[in-house]
Structure 1
């Protein structure tokens, strides 16, 4: 599984070319603390790269969820809506936020790999 990361602390896994999976990073959920609510986008909504697609709220703060790549939302994680703590317990797995049909796969080239993101997050 190849995961790429944005400077806004979202990850995207585009292994399934039909629908890339998006979520928040371990660093983001660590900074937020216990996640208590997520506002997910509507299926069928279209966003440009960098647009705000949702909100995650924790006991400490609320933060926007940005689109790491542009495209159409094809699925949201209803399990996460029902149990927002999944964003803390399994942020790179069961805590995914939504799936997006990419409008421009070349946008993936501008994202960071795990090594680059680790260095970026350590300096953030």
Structure 2
């Protein structure tokens, strides 16, 4: 079974405490195929695709990932993410360090995970 972690999100953490505001902003995926805007959406945080490289399968501009995450005591974000386009829920973690972010998402009770690197963009 092949699955794609959509919209951009699979999160991890670091040991340096971060503030919740650091996750917000515009990010470019490490492979250069996607850009997302992360912002508050109601009581959750949403990552919305703002640009997808032409020819990238199964993703499109406007796709959204709705994250229910919180900042942990060690400065990491942890929680779940729902992808309404694929009707999938992921366990997710996010590690923000300055202008770099690592996301990690898992499905199937943590048996299938994928990590993605991101760079903050203006």
Q: Fold-level match, TM-score > 0.5?
A: no
More helix by share: 1
More strand by share: 2
TM value normalised by structure 2 = 0.31
